[in-house]
Amino acid sequence: MKIDGEDQDVALKILHTADWHLGQSFPGFEAEDQPKLTQARIEAVDKLLGLAESHAVDAVLCAGDLFDEPAPQEQWWRELLKLFGRRKWTQRPVFLLPGNHDPLRPNSVWAADHPFRRSLPAWVHVVDRDDFEFAISQDAVLYAVPCRSRAGADDPTSRIPQRTPGDSRIRIGLAHGTTFDAKGHQMNFPVARNAAEQRGLDYLALGDTHGFREYPPKIAPTVYPGTPEPTTFDEMDAGSAAIIFFPRHRRMPLIHKERVARWKWMDKRCSSMEELEDLRGQDLKDCVLRLTLAMEVSVSERARVDEILEELKGNEARVGRAGVLCENLDELQVSVRDAGDFHRDLPDVLNAAIANLRSRGEQAGEDGETAREALVLLYKTLAEERSQTAGAPHARSGGAGQ
């Protein structure tokens, strides 16, 4: 990356990240999917550190909520230690800031006597003082303020000293909190939008909001890099880190957004079988897919829907086509009007049962819904039976139960 065409114009490069939420669980997902999402977070951190190396940044700023809990399970801090252990850095300090999810507390992972703290390499610095100050280089200084509780009404940046006359260094702030325009900011460490300008900072590195947000004021930018690995479907522009290039002579820094997330969280709504079949053909292996099916299908189509969903989701024998599938079938309606779903040569007793269920299934309400589902189950059971006894007299090619 060049600024004004010359590398030597860059006085300082930093990587800014936040909200790793290591150890976060995803209980809203299927049990087999949860580890994928949780593990991806540590992989994202590995990518971040790789990014820091490839860009040869001068420092890595991690702006809080690095763990989902102040005292996470040992597995997660051990994994993080392993990642640090793989790097042989000496001139690239990494700053870890406690956030409101993992505040600096005596029994937290940040405590001086915690094995995590004791095992950190010398180039990893935990921000454990309100007056934390670190000279990143001769011309650049970092000020950082940790969170000491889950909630707080004070602006953490107010503790950063103001620029003194004659101080021409690059001044960088590191804090965790919510800017005044965000919901619930009052007790979530509210940060003034013009805090960077007030404190005489060239760059204010923040954490908390999971989407990438940037306030480029007239003088100094304030940036939320967002979480490197999204945590929900509702996060806008999540999954990145920020690499900041500070030109010489304190000119405006250049902010470069770099995607690191493994998972792409996708919200998809299908309103026809064609759309669903089309989706089935797409490459979804890196997707956390929330699939809403809003359509009316016949009994056989409904069975086909389940086939496709299983194909996307995978099973014990086969890996799913989608990374993680989270289906919403609330708007999926089954129509029992189509009489051709079942074979006509089925025994009378089964035909009688089908007729009975179809009749009930035409009713509205819960009973009708149960009857429709029972019809689908019958259809699928017959199909399974057919597949097990291929060529059985009651089976007919072209569909389950036929």
- Asked if residues 144 and 97 have their Cβ atoms less than 8 Å apart, the reply is yes
By CB under 8 A, residue 394 contacts other proteins: yes
Cβ at position 119, least distance to other proteins in Å? 21
d(CA 160, CA 170): 14
- Asked if residues 316 and 393 have their Cβ atoms less than 8 Å apart, the reply is no
**Which CB atom, from 101 or from 262, has the smaller least distance to other proteins?**
101
Cβ at position 183, least distance to other proteins in Å? 8
**Residues 171-230 contacting other proteins, CB under 8 A:** 178, 184, 186-188
Q: Which stretch binds other proteins (CB under 8 A): 121-129, 157-165, 268-276, 353-361?
A: 353-361
Question: At 323, phi and psi to the nearest 5?
Answer: -60, -60
By CB under 8 A, residue 339 contacts other proteins: no
Closest CA to 156 of 128, 130, 125: 130
By CB under 8 A, residue 371 contacts other proteins: yes
Longest pairwise C-alpha distance within the chain? 96
d(CA 20, CA 110): 15
**Which CB atom, from 340 or from 393, has the smaller least distance to other proteins?**
393
**Residues 86-105 contacting other proteins, CB under 8 A:** 100-101, 105
By CB under 8 A, residue 370 contacts other proteins: yes
Q: Residue 200 is encoded by which pair of tokens?
A: 């005489």
Which residue type sits at 233? F
By CB under 8 A, residue 28 contacts other proteins: yes
Cβ at position 148, least distance to other proteins in Å? 8
Closest CA to 305 of 319, 292, 286: 292
- Asked if residues 65 and 207 have their Cβ atoms less than 8 Å apart, the reply is yes
Cβ at position 306, least distance to other proteins in Å? 11
Binding residue for other proteins, selected from 125, 346, 399, 400, defined by CB under 8 A: 346
- Asked if residues 266 and 287 have their Cβ atoms less than 8 Å apart, the reply is yes
Q: Which stretch binds other proteins (CB under 8 A): 211-219, 257-265, 309-317, 372-380?
A: 372-380
By CB under 8 A, residue 353 contacts other proteins: yes
**Which CB atom, from 4 or from 32, has the smaller least distance to other proteins?**
32
Q: Where are the alpha helices (DSSP H) in 281-393?
A: 299-313, 348-361, 365-388
Closest CA to 264 of 294, 241, 233, 243: 233
Q: Where are the alpha helices (DSSP H) in 132-199?
A: 195-199
By CB under 8 A, residue 356 contacts other proteins: yes
- Asked if residues 349 and 361 have their Cβ atoms less than 8 Å apart, the reply is no
Cβ at position 370, least distance to other proteins in Å? 5
Cβ at position 80, least distance to other proteins in Å? 21
Cβ at position 165, least distance to other proteins in Å? 21
By CB under 8 A, residue 349 contacts other proteins: yes
Q: Which stretch binds other proteins (CB under 8 A): 42-50, 119-127, 216-224, 371-379?
A: 371-379
Cβ at position 46, least distance to other proteins in Å? 26
Residues forming a β-bridge with 213:
224
Query: With the C-alpha atoms ordered 114, 147, 220, 201, is the resulting torsion angle positive or negative?
Result: negative
**Which CB atom, from 106 or from 217, has the smaller least distance to other proteins?**
106
Closest CA to 108 of 68, 150, 63, 71: 71
**Residues 374-393 contacting other proteins, CB under 8 A:** 374, 376-378, 381-382, 384-385, 392-393
Binding residue for other proteins, selected from 6, 74, 135, 151, defined by CB under 8 A: 151
Question: DSSP label at 145?
Answer: -
Total residues contacting other proteins by CB under 8 A comes to 42
Q: Residue 96 is encoded by which pair of tokens?
A: 């870890």
Cβ at position 168, least distance to other proteins in Å? 28
Q: Quote the radius of gyration of the chain (alpha carbons, Å).
A: 28
Q: Residue 260 is encoded by which pair of tokens?
A: 């690191």
Residues found near other proteins in the complex (CB under 8 A) = 27-28, 100-101, 105-107, 149-153, 178, 184, 186-188, 346-350, 352-353, 356-357, 360, 369-371, 373-374, 376-378, 381-382, 384-385, 392-394
